[in-house]
Amino acid sequence: MSFDGRFGEFGGAFVPELLQPALDALDAAFREASRSETFTRELEGLLATWAGRPTPLTKLRRLDVGGARIYLKREDLLHGGAHKTNQVVAQALLAMKMGKTRLIAETGAGQHGVATAMVGAMFGLSVRIYMGAVDVARQRPNVDRMRLFGAEVVAVDSGTARLRDAVNEALRDWAESYPDTHYVLGTAAGPHPYPSLVRAFQRVIGREAKAQFLEAEGALPDVVVACVGGGSNAIGLFADFIEEPGVELVGAEAGGRGSKVGDHAASITRGTLGVLHGTRTLLLQDEEGQVAATHSISAGLDYPAVGPEHAHLAATGRARYVAVDDQAALDAFRKLARFEGILPALESSHAVAAALAIAAERQGARLLVGLSGRGDKDLATVMAADASTEGSR
């Protein structure tokens, strides 16, 4: 029996029966590609010549980290400005192998939408992106980029008008369009095979970072830190360290503006078992199973569930998850800009904040941090937050 998409008690494929054949076809294409040297060569070639892999590992120089040594894995320098491109190139190749001519995707921060739109432009595939209306407003530069790449961007007003509602809309589209359309799911969540597939194609982040870290420090990191929305950059960074018992794994979730329901998106630290968007996982919900509203200053982490493998890593204790609030993320954003000359995405700023907190407690620790994306898209949000803190002084 082949892998059924379970990570302990989490995972699976909870979709309308109608979509099962499309998932099976994707699973088959993924398996075949995993065995194919031609596929691997083609993917690696594109990642090197078009997307700019490998990405560098950068040691923090000026930021005061109390004697710790912190290295950033620079996915912000990947084409498109975030790690999302890695697995989108792979999914687009699979889509073409399956004979699909159209791509659909959900997006929160707009980075996954941008990656899908630019890959669609490169391959000549038609692209439609679903994005919550709230996110369309707060991640405007990415909306413009997607449209320049020729994608149609649909603003989703239903529900909470955020990432979760964009996923709902993409799934509805796919239930009609699967004969000619591939759904490029943007994170390591959703129904099997997406969590495994996205992990496999994001694994390059950790594989490169491990070698680069060993080269720089002559040792493995003590702690590896990444932000967790659905969990794709985190699982990509963690994957090659899971079997290294000496390496601590820390995921940073969105702590938002408080611990009340609706004020955060910390699905592992504050969630309960449920089923959303095709997978059994931890999610934010009420007593009877209605999914809760969420808040995060970062659109990409503003999601009430999490990929099943992270739920499993949390349950087994192999990884630890912390909630980082909006303010801490903003502080980390400003510090990285001011002292290192790097503008991180607000998503990635959550990981930086968690790393700085760990560094403050552990003299001389060696940390590897996933800098999943760049922060140009977030300037309006950061400026607005600055203005409101100045106003309240």
- Report the distance separating Cα 106 and Cα 129, nearest Å: 6
**Residue 372 interacts with which of another protein, ligand PLP, none, CB < 5 to 8 Å by class:** ligand PLP
> Which string of x and - marks every residue 346-385 that binds ligand PLP (by CB under 6 A)?
-xx-----------------------xx------------
- CA separation (Å) from 87 to 12, 28, 239, 337, 382? 20, 17, 15, 28, 28
The residues in 111-130 that bind ligand PLP, with binding defined as CB under 6 A, are: 111-112
For 156, the token pair is: 């989703």
- Report the distance separating Cα 171 and Cα 273, nearest Å: 21
Active site residue 106: yes
Residues in the chain, how many? 393
- Report the distance separating Cα 248 and Cα 226, nearest Å: 12
| DSSP-based helix, strand, coil % in the chain, nearest 5 | 50, 20, 30
Cis (ω within 30 of 0) for the bond into 54? yes
- Could you say whether residue 206 binds ligand PLP (CB under 6 A)? no
For ligand PLP (CB under 6 A), the number of binding residues is 21
Nearer to another protein, 16 or 364 (CB): 16
Cis (ω within 30 of 0) for the bond into 193? yes
Nearer to another protein, 201 or 303 (CB): 303
- What type of residue is 295? H
| Single residue of 33, 47, 77, 82 touching ligand PLP by CB under 6 A | 82
Catalytic residue, chosen from 75, 106, 253, 340, is 106
38's enclosing H/E stretch is: helix 37-49
Nearest distance from C-beta of residue 233 to ligand PLP, angstroms = 3
- Report the distance separating Cα 18 and Cα 175, nearest Å: 7
| Single residue of 91, 233, 281, 296 touching ligand PLP by CB under 6 A | 233
Name the residues that contact another protein, by CB under 8 A.
12-21, 158-159, 164-165, 168, 171-172, 175-176, 178-179, 272-278, 280, 283, 285, 287-291
Active site residue 9: no
| Single residue of 55, 160, 232, 349 touching ligand PLP by CB under 6 A | 232
| Single residue of 5, 300, 304, 308 touching ligand PLP by CB under 6 A | 300
By the 10 Å C-beta count (0-12 exposed, 13-18 middle, 19+ buried), 67 is classed as: exposed
Active site residue 36: no
Q: Which residues are catalytic?
A: 84, 106, 372
Residues contributing to the site for ligand PLP (CB under 6 A): 82, 108-109, 111-112, 187, 227-234, 300-301, 345, 347-348, 372-373
